[in-house]
Amino acid sequence: MTTTLSAPSQPTRIPRPWDARTQRPAGNRVVKGIIKHAVLLCVLLIMLYPLLWMVGASFRPGNQTFAGLSLFSDTYTLQNYADGWSVGNLNFSKYFVNSAIITIGQIVGNLFACSLTAYAFARLEFPFKRVLFGMVIATMLLPQHVTLIPKYIIFNQMGWVDTYLPLTVPHFFAVDAFFIFLMVQFIRTLPTSLDESARIDGCGHWGIFWRIIMPMSLPAIGTTAMFTFVWAWNDLLGPLLYLPSSDLWTVSLGLNSFLDQTGQSTYGTLFAMATLSLAPIVGFFIASQRLLVEGIATTGLK
Amino acid sequence: MTLATATEPPVALPTTPRRGRGRTQLLPALAFLTPWLVGMVLFTFGPMLYSLYLSFTRYDLLSNPEWVGLQNYALMGSDPRFWKSVGVTLTYVVVFVPLLQVVSMLVALLLNSRLRFLTGYRALFYLPSLMGASVAVAALWRQVFGADGLVNAVLGLVGIENVGSWVGDPARALGTIITLNLWAFGSTMIIFLAGLRQVPRELLEAAEVDGASKIRRFFSITLPMMTPLVFFNVLMGTINAFQSFTGAYVVSGGSGGPVDSTLFYTLYLYERGFTQLQMGYASAMAWVLLLVLAVVTGIFFRSSRYWVHYGDES
């Protein structure tokens, strides 16, 4: 597979005087290619091995969970997955639904509020724009712990503790400044000529936002949705604070509690639930891989 | 939060071409900005001021806040666990952030060539960064670095026995958290990789003609051209590292143990505020964190003019 590395990919290149110096024997390059792939594969294997091992262990019978380093086993079982849905007083089917509700709430909120805000900063002129945009940046850098305690106190007084409201409602007010920034950066790169023609055709700002800017901003919207999903799905601190009753728990809280009460015998079940909890992340990632890795990485470079 | 976005330090303001009719569009702007403005007041500035006030009080949620002046700040000075948490967090930041840059840069350099399966490699290196902050992986880490975990099993293969639990040893526990968060280096790496692609080939080729070695070319051309991204990655890495929570919480079972060796600042803040219900003290801790981060960020931006190079061409 590595031999193709040496194939010249610029056949039309004009020979330059220094080519003689940089050209090395083809065999040398093949060896280099092999070494490179070997190094990369080794690093990847070490990185991903614990994950693969966990997936393997989740399919082993309970008494073989810790059967050494191997990924494989003589007997496979789905028992851990069957058991996991209700272990003791835990109820993971409920937690997955709860996590999904909160996650969807945050995604909808972020898309709604951050895109509106971003349009204003990217396309409109208004007084104090510089100062206000500076505030967007400042909130991006602000540690969330500064507002953690007062927010808890306020939500507590409003009777919102033990509901999903503290975890979702703020997102409808664009509290994730990072996504405003991301969308502003993206909208800036869109040509304004389309705005102008839409205006001539009688579109107001809402029309331009909804019919022109939003459809063209799909990469930024997708990125925002994906990251909101991952953050909301993984979040532990928020649910830990606001969801004391186990009926409302998220997957993160369920796993954390499971880990506290688990003995060696139930680790298989824990691994099964942990594997399931990571599956949506992997799924979304595969679905939006190109968008994520290529799209975003270059968005800000312009 | 870990992000895969390569951005220049956010100094440039989006400019809008002036439109013919009227200079400003105040009313539409207000309409579009309303959710954000309300959010700023209700969920950011309001709570910030409230927490500043609380930091001068004693408050346990049950009775009314009682004004105590600077007492919380004074108490911090003589609180050994506070200083322990400062030590743990600073050690973590100083070790983790540079390591993160080096590892990310090395892998990005390896991937920055005409490599087969590049997309696949990139995706696989990136994937852990989406999981690094999850409870599932932190729970796995507790097993991997446990007494009978994978790490010790591997060490056993090469004849190193009786190493004991890594997460249970005060001298090594912080190392396991550093590894956990380093495992998620993909988002930092992606940014470097995107930057490496923008380094002009002509420059590197010209240097090669002049006889510059690979290492010399990296330090004299590639690295200087990458400094805006290094700046961004170090800044965001530092800010995030100061706020690291989930990994330490789950791996230590919420205690910051063993013997407070993984008592991150945020863990201690959480414990003071929500376990011991000392909202005043916790608020004071939050404000100290804010001030420290503000100073660190300020130093970063100030120092950037000496080491960050913005090229003219893109």
CATH number of the domain within which B135 lies: 1.10.3720.10
Tell if the CB–CB gap between A125 and B290 is shorter than 8 Å: no
- Tokens 């349009």 sit on residue: A119
In Å, how far from its chain's centre is CA B222?
24
Judging contacts by C-beta atoms under 8 Å, the chain A residues touching residue B32 are 116-117, 119-120, 124, 205, 209
What is the pLDDT, as a whole number, of residue A14? 54
Task: Note the residue count of chain A.
Answer: 302
The low-confidence residues of chain B, meaning pLDDT below 70, are 1-23, 311-314
Instruction: Tell me chain B's radius of gyration from C-alpha atoms.
Output: 24
**Residue A140 placed within a domain:** yes
Same domain, A43 and A103: no
pLDDT at A99: 97
Determine the Cα–Cα distance for residues A78 and A83; give it in Å rounded to an integer.
Answer: 9
Q: Pick from A1, A231, A302: which is nearest to B116 by CB?
A: A1
Q: Is residue B129 part of a domain?
A: yes
DSSP alpha helix (H) spans, chain B? 26-39, 46-54, 71-77, 80-111, 118-126, 128-131, 135-144, 150-157, 173-182, 186-196, 201-209, 214-217, 223-242, 246-251, 265-270, 279-307
Angle at Cα A152 formed by Cα B258 and Cα B248, nearest 5°? 20
Whose tokens are 């030590």? That residue is: B87
Mean pLDDT of chain A: 85
ipTM over 0.85: yes
pLDDT per residue rounded down to tens, chain A (302 residues): 333 333 344 445 555 555 544 555 567 888 888 998 999 999 999 999 999 999 999 998 877 777 777 788 778 888 888 888 877 778 899 999 999 999 999 999 999 999 999 999 999 999 999 999 999 999 988 988 899 999 999 999 999 999 999 999 999 999 999 999 999 988 998 888 888 889 998 889 999 999 999 998 888 898 899 999 999 999 999 999 999 999 999 999 999 999 888 766 688 889 999 999 999 999 988 888 766 655 555 444 43
Please indicate, yes or no, whether residues A105 and A243 belong to a single structural domain of this protein: yes
Question: Cβ–Cβ contacts within 10 Å for residue A189, how many?
Answer: 12
The answer to whether the beta carbons of residues B70 and B281 sit under 8 Å apart is no
Whether A23 is in a domain gets the answer: yes
A79 is a domain residue: no
> Which of B123, B190, B249 is facing A297, going by the closest CB pair?
B190
Tell me whether residue A26 is in a domain: yes
Question: A87 lies in a domain?
Answer: no
Identify all chain A residues contacting B166, using CB atoms and an 8 Å cutoff.
none
Quickly tell me which residue has 């000392």 as its tokens. Answer: B278
d(CA B206, CA B28): 52
- The total domain count for chain B is 1
* B154: CB partners within 8 A, 6+ apart: A69
B254: left (phi over 0), alpha (psi -120 to 50) or beta: left
Q: What is the pLDDT of residue A16?
A: 54
Collect all residues of chain A within an 8 Å Cβ-Cβ radius of residue B279. 149, 153
- Quick one: pLDDT at residue A1? 34
pLDDT at A66: 75
Q: Are residues A29 and A130 in the same domain?
A: no
Kindly list the residues from chain B whose CB atom is less than 8 angstroms away from the CB atom of residue A2.
Answer: 116
Output the domain CATH number for residue A207: 1.10.3720.10
pLDDT at B185: 95
CA-CA distance, A19 to A299, in Å (whole number)?
Answer: 35
| 8-state DSSP, B12 | P
Tokens at B127, concatenated: 């994937």
pLDDT of B159: 87
Report yes or no: B248 and B28 within 8 Å, Cβ to Cβ: no
Provide the β-strand partners of residue B67: B57
Query: HSE (CB half, 13 Å, CA atoms) of B258?
Result: 13
Q: Does residue B306 belong to any structural domain of this protein?
A: no
Does any CB of chain A come closer than 8 Å to the CB of residue B287?
yes
- Kindly report the nearest CA distance between residue A149 and chain B, in angstroms: 7
Do A130 and A137 form a contact (C-beta atoms < 8 A)?
no
| Count of domains forming chain A | 2
Looking at the domain assignment, is residue B229 inside a domain?
Answer: no
* Sign of the Cα pseudo-torsion (B93, B98, B103, B109, in order): positive
Q: Name the residue range of residue B122's domain.
A: 34-200+235-297
Cα B125 from chain centre: 18
Residue A297 is predicted with a pLDDT of 52
| Res A300: pLDDT | 43
Q: Whole domain around residue A12: which residue ranges?
A: 3-58
Contact residues, B window 63-92, toward A, CB-based 8 Å cutoff: none
Cβ distance B29 to A120 less than 8 Å, yes or no, reads: yes
Catalogue the long-range contacts made by B155-160 (C-beta closer than 8 Å, 24 or more residues apart).
B157/A69
> How many CB contacts within 8 angstroms connect chain A with chain B?
293
Nearest residue in chain B measured CA to CA from A121: B14
B191 vs B5: CA distance, rounded Å: 6
Q: For residue A295, report the phi and psi dihedrals to the nearest 5 degrees.
A: -55, -60
CA distance B96 to chain A (A): 17
Q: Is B148 on the interface with A (CB under 8 A)?
A: yes
d(CA B39, CA A177): 11
Given an 8 Å threshold on Cβ–Cβ distance, is B135 in contact with A237? no
